[in-house]
A = this chain, B = another copy of it.
Amino acid sequence: MIELADVYAAWRRIRPYLHETPVVTSRRLDAETGKTLVFKAEPFQKTGSFKARGALNKALLLERPKGLVAASSGNHAQGVAYAAGVLGVPAVIVMPEDAVRIKKEAVRAYGAELVTQGVTVANRERIAREIARERGYAFIHPFDDEAVMAGQGTLALELLSRVSDPEAVLVPVGGGGLISGVATAVKALAPDVRVLGVEPAVAADAAESFAKGERVCLEAPPATVADGVRTLCLGERTFEVIRRRVDGILTVSEEAIREAQARLITRTKVFAEPTGALALAAVLEHGERLPGRLALVVSGGNGEPPRV
């Protein structure tokens, strides 16, 4: 199980190559929600999401890797591509043919090799691990890896150094890499601060796992606009941390996610992808159950651009 020291070590390791992302606020959103909200704005992180943190921490811990491989159609792909660039080694990204165009473009823009032929959501990890074995590259899991989890947790160190006394931190949950790192840091540094996960109601595997005390998986990828959290279940390693250190998991409707995304953009001017708006969606939908001072993690800002 990762501990605070792992997150701190990750921070020292990755800081030279990444941004400290800003914390933003909106008086109008505070008035509209009746809360005092601060947003940790990971869209401004390198690659446009927090995923660069974990991928880079993992990559820097490898011993002279010849290359990096990831199976991801999302932000982890860009994180690994960026990490490979830092190391000066090649990256191979395995993603399904039908992945979002802009994420394919972004991965190519970071100089990675893209493998899509015959790739589906079901077989992509197997294909990626095969490529890694054949070429002698390192496969980097998107969440169920302690170095990745510790890397993601570094955003909580930045947050707690800027924001005094939030009563709770709200964090999107997919595979659990981000929230497990964040909870590890928060519970060690500010144990009174609650750590709450947020996931789409149509992808409530984390909430169910948390309630039952054992990992529960979805049978098929959930139909949520929040494409960053379409994983089938939490990881084994992430779940161990989550059940010990997370205080609860909230679920939100698709409509609340859409509304939160629009509200974030119009109020804070930060372009968040739907997954990045999960925490605000929870405030919009469950405000009465939440305390007054909240820190919200806006996890990323990649996605198709709006057109006027």
Contacts and interface: CB of A to CB of B under 8 A. Distances in A.
Interface in A275-308: 301-303, 305-308
Interface string A192-232: 00000000000000000000000000000000010000000
Interface string A32-74: 0000000001011000100000000000000000000000000
A270 B106 CA distance: 17
Looking at A31, A48, A106, A258, the one whose CB has the most chain B CB atoms below 10 A away is A48
B271 A265 contact: yes
A5 interface: no
Number of copies: 2
Contacts of A269: 41, 43-44, 48, 270-271, 301
A12 interface: no
Contact of A109 (B24, B31, B102, B301): B31
B31 A265 contact: no
Nearest to A22: B22
Contacts of A303: 266, 308
A306 B266 CA distance: 9
Nearest to A267: B48
Contact residues on A (Cβ < 8 Å of other chain), bracket: 20 to 34
A102 B274 CA distance: 20
A115 interface: no
Nearest to A48: B269
A127 interface: no
A102 B266 contact: yes
6 contacts: A22-B22, A28-B109, A48-B269, A262-B305, A265-B305, A266-B303
